[in-house]
Amino acid sequence: MNKVWIEIERDANKSINHKRAEKFTDLLANLGSTKKVWFNEEINQYCLVTDRAGSFFELENNGYWFNLDEFLAQGEQL
């Protein structure tokens, strides 16, 4: 499996964190992913939404190892 670590830093300004979460989601979309990132102000943590039902988990160390093979178009392999 080909993997890539993507990390996002937290800022004291919560609105910056929300904007960074949007940019992270945009980056994932550009890579072909449907996953979304949002910032949870209550726990001061970024979260990754993993399915259409809204299931999510907190990003440990503000990042996640993504499977590059999932990002590749229609069966193309590296």
Task: Give the pLDDT confidence of 42-56 residue by residue, as tens digits.
Answer: 999 999 998 888 889
> Residue 78: inside a domain, yes or no?
no
User: 49 vs 31, which has greater pLDDT?
Assistant: 49
Domain that holds residue 56: 3-71
Q: Which of 72, 50, 66, 59 is nearest to 4 (CA)?
A: 66
What is the count of structural domains for the chain?
1
> Residue 33: inside a domain, yes or no?
yes
User: 45 vs 73, which has greater pLDDT?
Assistant: 45
pLDDT class of 75 with cuts at 50, 70, 90:
very low
> Residue 76: inside a domain, yes or no?
no
> Residue 52: inside a domain, yes or no?
yes
Q: What share of the chain is helix, strand, coil (3-state, %, to 5)?
A: 30, 30, 40
Rounded to two decimals, what is the model's pTM?
0.81
* Helix, strand or coil, per DSSP, at residue 55: coil
